[in-house]
């Protein structure tokens, strides 16, 4: 039995990149919207970047992995059988609290991988279906960048000029020029000038540690304040236990635990799920019922399957004669290269990758993560700290059905919801792609005059991008939702996060997640008047 009951038009589960965008769009369209978030509102003064011990906090209560943080809002994750370890955050704003704001768009080819390359599946939508939603999202979040990138379709001007790439960015850019390879300033949802009442970036560096100035966009300071003004409610510190369904299989609302741990029920005309590519299949599988015995929206058996991350590798170099220490300036929002983004059969693998330039990091993470332990540790630290620059290879990760999310009933959270069990192994295509990327990164470091070059063949703590576990498609037998994010099995259930991705692309997924979410919200607003 439930102890509380209320009702609304639409429930949005999750307040991150997708959930906040949908909440804003539907509230503006006149729907009664309640967004439920299991984490708290975060006071910007609590971000680690605002404290002297920020490097310690980033390895404890602000760590990227929920099993390390173990905060009340976190649920346990079993990724023992995954080659890539999860990185995500639970709070109002979701993982946009913790991201670096790097926002390149998918290429048109990313939506047509089956047609072009004979692998994976085509999306039921195109880049052009999303273009205006990409633009709208840039306006809401605020994009700093430069028009004219020849690797991408022409697009509208950014809201702000690019974040300065600095002398180190110029140095690496000249190395790309020497090789005759593409590079371009990164598009970022970080203010290069004051924007919508939020301050410009002061170039302090550690963007992934939160921004107490509000210069880095996160949905708690962009979409959600405007959504609340439009009438939406945000219930923080509230955990959805399961999505309820009636005898006809349609969603009726959600069972939830409030901040005091009391069980309640919120009824609605529709439920929108934006819990990321791990949390969404966990919720759907846990919401099994008489009408959905194998999990909600899982008649196809595809919920949880085809998990994609992005595969990462790279090379870094030591530079003795740069004008500034390499830890000065934003960590990752510098320059990028898409020289090897599209498929070239001569390379021996499908699809491709993006280079993202990275700067050096703080003294503690340098000592712990970048310098080998042993009797030469201090000498190596002195050689590397403030002198290292790197190129990360972010590789397209093709969907494979054996990479999946299931439920682990042996590791429930505090409310009894089973943990997600993540099974992921690196595919042969990814191995070949990363090997090519590392050797290409080495060429750039050499052209840039690095005194020493160090390679990373594969990085395991890189599970930031969670995609593919409730994929979109026209065929209900092989997909979970249609092109509008609507579940094939349940016409008043919608999914809007990265779980509906058909392919992963070779770039950060957040702007594409948000563009898809805004398109789904537009469909609901204009085609589903029965939900109001």
- Contact between residue 184 and residue 335 where contact means Cβ atoms under 8 Å apart: yes
- Contact between residue 23 and residue 494 where contact means Cβ atoms under 8 Å apart: no
Query: CB under 8 Å to 241, separation ≥6 — which residues?
Result: 254, 255, 256, 257, 263, 415, 416, 417
φ and ψ at residue 82, rounded to 5 degrees: -115, 130
- Contact between residue 130 and residue 512 where contact means Cβ atoms under 8 Å apart: yes
Q: Rounded to an integer, what distance in angstroms lies between the CA atom of residue 345 and that of residue 110? A: 16
Three-state SS at 435: helix
Q: Rounded to an integer, what distance in angstroms lies between the CA atom of residue 357 and that of residue 186? A: 9
Q: ∠251-236-274 over CA atoms, to 5°?
A: 45
Three-state SS at 66: helix
Q: Strand runs (DSSP E) across 451-521, as ranges?
A: 452-456, 493-495
Of 114, 17, 195, 124, nearest to 484 (Cα)? Answer: 124
Return the CATH architecture of domain 5-160+187-310+400-425+463-531: 3-Layer(bba) Sandwich (3.50)
Q: Rounded to an integer, what distance in angstroms lies between the CA atom of residue 266 and that of residue 286? A: 17
> pLDDT tens track of the chain, all 532 residues?
345 669 999 999 999 999 999 999 999 999 999 999 999 999 988 888 888 887 888 888 888 899 999 999 999 999 999 999 999 999 999 999 989 999 999 999 999 999 999 999 999 999 999 999 999 999 999 999 999 999 999 999 999 999 999 999 999 999 999 999 999 999 999 999 999 999 999 998 787 788 889 999 999 999 999 999 999 999 999 999 999 999 999 999 999 999 999 999 999 999 999 999 999 999 999 999 999 999 999 999 999 999 999 999 999 999 988 888 888 888 888 999 999 999 999 999 999 999 999 998 888 888 887 888 999 899 888 888 889 999 999 999 999 999 999 999 999 999 999 999 999 999 999 999 999 999 999 999 999 999 999 999 998 989 999 999 999 999 999 999 999 999 999 999 999 999 999 999 999 999 999 999 999 999 999 999 999 9
Give the per-residue SS3 of 208-232: HHCCCCCCECCCCCCHHHHHHHCCC
């Amino acid at each position: 039995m439930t102890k509380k009951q209320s009702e609304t038009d639409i429930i949005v589960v999750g307040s991150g990149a997708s959930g906040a965008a949908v909440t804003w769009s539907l509230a503006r369209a006149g729907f009664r919207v309640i967004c439920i978030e299991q984490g708290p509102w975060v006071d910007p003064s609590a971000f680690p970047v605002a404290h002297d011990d920020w490097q310690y906090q980033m390895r404890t209560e602000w760590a990227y992995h929920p099993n390390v943080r173990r905060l009340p809002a976190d649920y346990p994750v079993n990724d023992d059988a995954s080659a890539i370890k999860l990185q995500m955050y639970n709070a109002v704003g979701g993982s946009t609290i913790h991201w670096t704001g790097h926002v390149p768009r998918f290429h048109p080819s990313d939506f047509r991988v089956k047609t072009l390359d004979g692998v994976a599946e085509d999306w039921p939508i195109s880049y052009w279906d999303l273009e205006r939603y990409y633009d709208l999202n840039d306006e809401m979040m605020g994009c700093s960048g430069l028009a004219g990138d020849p690797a991408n379709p022409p697009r509208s001007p950014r809201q702000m000029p690019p974040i300065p790439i600095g002398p180190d960015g110029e140095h690496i850019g000249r190395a790309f020029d020497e090789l005759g390879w593409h590079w371009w300033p990164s598009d970022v949802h970080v203010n290069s000038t004051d924007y919508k009442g939020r301050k410009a970036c002061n170039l302090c560096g550690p963007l992934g540690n939160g921004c107490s100035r509000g210069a880095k966009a996160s949905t708690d300071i962009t979409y959600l304040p405007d959504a609340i003004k439009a009438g939406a409610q945000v219930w923080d510190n509230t955990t959805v236990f399961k999505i309820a369904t009636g005898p006809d299989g349609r969603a009726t609302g959600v069972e939830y635990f409030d901040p005091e741990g009391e069980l309640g029920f919120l009824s609605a005309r529709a439920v929108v799920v934006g819990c990321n590519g791990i949390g969404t299949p966990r919720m759907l599988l846990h919401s099994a019922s008489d009408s959905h015995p194998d999990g909600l929206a899982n008649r196809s058996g595809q919920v949880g399957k085809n998990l994609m991350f992005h595969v990462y590798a790279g090379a870094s170099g030591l530079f003795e004669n740069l004008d500034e220490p390499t830890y000065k300036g934003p960590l990752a929002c510098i320059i990028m290269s898409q020289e090897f983004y599209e498929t070239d059969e001569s390379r021996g693998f499908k699809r491709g990758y993006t280079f993202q330039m990275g700067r050096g990091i703080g003294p503690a993470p340098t000592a712990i993560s970048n310098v080998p332990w042993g009797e030469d540790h201090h000498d190596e630290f002195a050689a590397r700290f403030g002198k290292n620059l790197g190129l990360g290879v972010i590789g397209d990760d093709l969907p494979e059905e054996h990479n999946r999310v299931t439920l682990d009933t042996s590791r429930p959270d505090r409310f009894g919801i089973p943990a997600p069990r993540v099974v992921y192994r690196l595919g042969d295509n990814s191995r070949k792609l990363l090997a090519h990327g590392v050797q290409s990164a080495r060429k750039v470091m050499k052209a840039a005059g690095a005194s020493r070059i160090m390679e990373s063949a594969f990085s395991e703590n890189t599970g930031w991008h969670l995609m593919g576990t409730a994929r979109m498609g026209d065929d209900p037998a092989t997909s979970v939702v249609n092109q509008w994010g609507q579940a094939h099995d349940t016409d008043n259930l919608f999914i809007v996060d990265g779980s509906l991705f058909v392919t992963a692309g070779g770039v950060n997924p957040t702007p594409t997640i948000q563009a898809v979410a805004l398109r789904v919200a537009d469909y609901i607003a204009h085609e589903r008047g029965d939900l109001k």
